[in-house]
Structure 1
């Protein structure tokens, strides 16, 4: 046998791994065929992305012929994965800048807090016209607007996850990076990315699932008194719902289930299994996630052959990054200079924010009047009440279930994929059935919207509680059992403190998802039925559809104040409590 990187002893040409083993050659053929099919599909889709487009003659609905669903599904998947790639790139740049530059951090984190509180329709109302004008006469502008809307539903959660992974790195790893004289580029790829890979992938999976929820709003766009529809599974479902055709809605749901299961099986399951290589722990886990797809890729030499030409590029980037300096800990600065710079920087940012707030208030005052803020705050209080009720009931229901799943390896093996599918399924596809039930039972949407919001937001709590319960070290579980700790004492002194950091992450994500979901849950149309709840979500949805920019600005500002205020006053304190008191 040949050594690693050597020549085969049987006279064959040099190969790598299993490429030259007859028994594994079928794996290489399968992987190569899959790559070729993927590239061919992208080439076939490319002309449709740049189709002729005129806003005045653009169709307001896509065809609801079920024969078009495979094409629609592929178009939607392409948008989702482009948005995911952009979200990862944004995460790497934004989170690294916030974690490594202390002065910039004081601005970037509040901005990120505000951005995650802005609803998807708020971004669409501003970006649709801009992208259409950027690509006149082409559907590419509307595609960019749709992808950007999906991006805004993914990026913020991933960025927060990667940022917290960077700032919580052990000091020993930082010292090792400096001892080995790594450049900043090398530190990023050899230390920062590996240490943040597990939370990035798991939160990316949750963000991807949350973006499915807004697929219909991103593909069937109603802004500025105009309606545009892009080919996609979301716009198909929106058209079927508008026509009141439940059979077509059921077909869309069936296709969506297949898509979600396929994405989880062929992408997220291999990614989560692969990310286990970056886990740092003293003892190996009893059961690690497995993936047939990942096993096939590991047996194949095609990925290595594809990546081999990129290795010289990586070495060249390592050499090019050396003049920019070595990796240093962000705290290694003179204190006096840091304080002086912070004061100047904070003053400049405060002045800029004050000027922007004054301009916004002046614009609102000259159009709808400042009294509109009080009306929006009252509507926001109604939506805030629904979010609180949702979080309370979701906590009471899903925390015990999540703990039971997470602490039983045999249960988690089959329950975790089911939970991933449920969390990824766009719950607004079920809105027509819920609306029909509300009309038949005479239930007001003021109450029913809580259920609709929960369909999309509750899974974040369950998902994180399962992750927290499964991460409890087995030796602690055995110690509690050995000490005879059972019942409420076991819950109050062991289980709840152990899962508390994960619950906080799930709670803040679920709350943000509920605020965003209120825009589509407080206004529901199905056939001839129009249901509307009293709340800030309905206010923003109505203003966006009418193209009323002053009210859109008021609604977004008020929702941002509510979300940022609750995050700062409640959830951030919970984060600090989790880090200082309940961290293992």
Structure 2
């Protein structure tokens, strides 16, 4: 071996050190340039979007099947889905928080959530679209807001259920610590509740966005009688291609959608999952953490560090200090005048709440009577058809849930327990979940017809394709949330596979599994409107089912059938939730709650 002089080694080491320091300095600069470029691109996109939305409404839109139209269509669809997601996230946090901490309205709000998640998107379509168009009659934004609200109705419910169940399962010692340190409501939300619910909320956000892609076709291709509410977008492109049987256009549309989903996974979900892993409730740090190169680079950005240290942190500290000072002044002032003022304020607040409740009840009662007046036009044969369709859809929903649970539970536990497997399987699952089953359904349906099957079997496959991801992603979140120390105890005592599943895995994932099954059940009922009634090559295929009745009534403008079928579907879903899922929720909140 040749021995190099010490001086040469020192020079070489100093050069390597200098090179590494240059790289450290250059990388944050490159990241800052990328962040600036993203900001400029977002600003340009907002300008173009504002010009389109606030322009005059388009009377009739022809969907081009040229691949050159896909970039603009994809941009429009991405904006609709992410605006709907932002609206869903805000609603889920507010709704779940109010339901979890107000026992007087908790049962009413959860019942309302059950009903709302059971109402199909097509049942919202006519009223929402007509209302938005009437609100903005001279601008394109009316139809756009209608589509965003409808995508919101397909995304929000599982997120609200997830946040509510996370709040109900916060360990008692964490609540006591927040009380001892005298956290305000805002501090408790930011420092305890949102971090504890982060893992479940992130994974449900992923499946919500996937659900947005699933219903994108229906929201962008809505026609009510002679009125055309179609919008340019990726969903309308795929639906038009599927209706005309254009295999080349379907391939281009799916390729574009998969590219968007892969980019979303790498640029959004992977960094967020790696970031949320730090909120895992455990006493022993896990050996292997989920990593994201993009998150690592963003954390070392000088611009973002400056923004955080000079803006976000001082602002949050100022807010916390003002809250503490306000509470201290309230406690220090114990004079009768301030007590009388507080009592007057409470009386006025109670009066305002009472007036609002009375007005809301009167409005609901009036609207309910006006809606029920439509049911006078329902014929006896139509009522029998709805009942038979309800039974057929009920059987298909339960078969789809059973088939989905068989593979999603073990697969979700394996992904959640093994970060290396998660790095490979999570992007694949996100891609598969986000590709709309409605885009794949023409191929599946034609294959079933060739082998002698039909829409009756195909509808079960479509329901499973559209709803199995609710179960999978919730199981993954539940498996990831199981503390590492409990898993190490199971290894230390050499539990067998059966013992591990019985005493650790199933109890640990149980609250998440119930959330996944509830939302998957509601999603399967919702998916029936597409699974049982499908346009293929300029012809309509349908089978006996409640979803087919709703879709046919929407196409023909028979609002009395649409209303009755929606009431029957909502009633069945709420009844199932009351008899099956609600007791299981209570069991998850009591027996399988993680705590000391």
TM-score range, shorter chain: 0.7 to 0.9
**Aligned match of 2:590:** 580
**Aligned match of 1:386:** 396
1:484 Cα shift?
A: 5.2
When residues 501 and 51 of structure 1 are mapped into structure 2, their CA distance, relative to the original with a 3 A threshold, is same
Q: In the aligned structure 2, how far is the partner of 1:112 from the partner of 1:416?
A: 29
Deviation string 1:175-206 (CA, Å, 9 cap, x unpaired) is: 44444444333333333333322222221112
Calculate the TM-score normalised by the size of structure 2: 0.84
Q: Secondary structure at the match of 2:232?
A: coil
Q: In the aligned structure 1, how far is the partner of 2:242 from the partner of 2:160?
A: 34
1:412 Cα shift?
A: 2.8
Count of paired positions:
550
1:101 Cα shift?
A: 2.5
**Aligned match of 1:45:** 49
1:212 Cα shift?
A: 1.0
Q: In the aligned structure 1, how far is the partner of 2:160 from the partner of 2:100?
A: 11
Q: Secondary structure at the match of 2:453?
A: coil
Q: In the aligned structure 1, how far is the partner of 2:142 from the partner of 2:485?
A: 56
Q: Secondary structure at the match of 1:260?
A: helix
Q: Secondary structure at the match of 1:284?
A: coil
8 Å Cα contact 1:406-1:469 kept in structure 2:
yes
RMSD: 3.3
Deviation string 1:70-89 (CA, Å, 9 cap, x unpaired) is: 11111111111111111122
Query: Mean alpha-carbon deviation: is it higher for 186-195 or for 85-94?
Result: 186-195
When residues 120 and 466 of structure 1 are mapped into structure 2, their CA distance, relative to the original with a 3 A threshold, is same
Q: In the aligned structure 1, how far is the partner of 2:363 from the partner of 2:388?
A: 25
Query: Any stretches of 5+ residues in structure 2 without a counterpart?
Result: 1-21, 332-349
Deviation string 1:285-343 (CA, Å, 9 cap, x unpaired) is: 22222112211211112234455456666566557767996999xxxxxxxxxxxx9xx
Q: In the aligned structure 2, how far is the partner of 1:278 from the partner of 1:488?
A: 29
Calculate the TM-score normalised by the size of structure 1: 0.85
Q: In the aligned structure 2, how far is the partner of 1:494 from the partner of 1:105?
A: 30
**Aligned match of 1:36:** 40
Query: Mean alpha-carbon deviation: is it higher for 360-369 or for 68-77?
Result: 360-369
Q: Secondary structure at the match of 2:582?
A: helix
Q: In the aligned structure 1, how far is the partner of 2:159 from the partner of 2:299?
A: 27
When residues 566 and 325 of structure 1 are mapped into structure 2, their CA distance, relative to the original with a 3 A threshold, is farther
Q: In the aligned structure 2, how far is the partner of 1:544 from the partner of 1:291?
A: 45
Q: Secondary structure at the match of 1:458?
A: helix
**Aligned match of 1:465:** 475
1:267 Cα shift?
A: 0.8
- Equivalences for residues 293-308 of structure 1 within 5 A: 293-306=294-307, 308=310
1:44 Cα shift?
A: 2.4
The answer to which structure has the higher helix fraction is: 2
- Equivalences for residues 19-168 of structure 1 within 5 A: 21=25, 24-54=28-58, 57-59=59-61, 61-168=62-169
Query: Mean alpha-carbon deviation: is it higher for 471-480 or for 451-460?
Result: 471-480
1:363 Cα shift?
A: 1.0
1:483 Cα shift?
A: 5.0
When residues 478 and 167 of structure 1 are mapped into structure 2, their CA distance, relative to the original with a 3 A threshold, is closer
8 Å Cα contact 2:284-2:485 kept in structure 1:
no
Q: In the aligned structure 2, how far is the partner of 1:177 from the partner of 1:538?
A: 51
**Aligned match of 2:223:** 222
8 Å Cα contact 2:56-2:139 kept in structure 1:
yes
Q: In the aligned structure 1, how far is the partner of 2:488 from the partner of 2:165?
A: 30
Bigger Rg, which one: 2
**Aligned match of 2:427:** 417
**Aligned match of 2:438:** 428
Higher relative contact order (CA 8 A, sep 6+): 2
Query: Mean alpha-carbon deviation: is it higher for 349-358 or for 274-283?
Result: 349-358
1:354 Cα shift?
A: 9.5
1:21 Cα shift?
A: 4.4
- Equivalences for residues 168-247 of structure 1 within 5 A: 168-247=169-248
**Aligned match of 2:10:** none
8 Å Cα contact 1:525-1:531 kept in structure 2:
yes
When residues 373 and 319 of structure 1 are mapped into structure 2, their CA distance, relative to the original with a 3 A threshold, is farther
Q: In the aligned structure 2, how far is the partner of 1:299 from the partner of 1:40?
A: 27
Q: Secondary structure at the match of 1:460?
A: helix
Q: In the aligned structure 1, how far is the partner of 2:483 from the partner of 2:186?
A: 34
Deviation string 1:58-80 (CA, Å, 9 cap, x unpaired) is: 22x41111101011111111111
Query: Mean alpha-carbon deviation: is it higher for 384-393 or for 436-445?
Result: 436-445
When residues 103 and 493 of structure 1 are mapped into structure 2, their CA distance, relative to the original with a 3 A threshold, is closer
When residues 511 and 577 of structure 1 are mapped into structure 2, their CA distance, relative to the original with a 3 A threshold, is same
Q: In the aligned structure 2, how far is the partner of 1:324 from the partner of 1:86?
A: 31
Query: Any stretches of 5+ residues in structure 1 without a counterpart?
Result: 1-17, 329-340
1:247 Cα shift?
A: 1.2
Q: In the aligned structure 2, how far is the partner of 1:496 from the partner of 1:63?
A: 50
**Aligned match of 2:520:** 510
1:475 Cα shift?
A: 5.0
**Aligned match of 1:249:** 250
- Equivalences for residues 285-296 of structure 1 within 5 A: 285-296=286-297
Q: In the aligned structure 2, how far is the partner of 1:371 from the partner of 1:350?
A: 36
- 1:500 pairs with 2:493: no
Residue from 515, 540, 550 that aligns with 1:530: 540
Deviation string 1:80-136 (CA, Å, 9 cap, x unpaired) is: 111111112212322222223322323222112211111111111211011011111
1:394 Cα shift?
A: 1.6
When residues 304 and 377 of structure 1 are mapped into structure 2, their CA distance, relative to the original with a 3 A threshold, is farther
Q: Secondary structure at the match of 2:445?
A: helix
Q: Secondary structure at the match of 2:229?
A: strand
Deviation string 1:227-251 (CA, Å, 9 cap, x unpaired) is: 3221111011111112210110011
Residue from 448, 453, 461 that aligns with 1:451: 461
8 Å Cα contact 2:284-2:484 kept in structure 1:
no
Q: Secondary structure at the match of 1:579?
A: helix
Deviation string 1:507-535 (CA, Å, 9 cap, x unpaired) is: 22221111111111111111134210110
Q: Secondary structure at the match of 1:85?
A: helix
8 Å Cα contact 1:373-1:558 kept in structure 2:
no
Q: In the aligned structure 2, how far is the partner of 1:137 from the partner of 1:349?
A: 31
Q: In the aligned structure 2, how far is the partner of 1:315 from the partner of 1:487?
A: 48
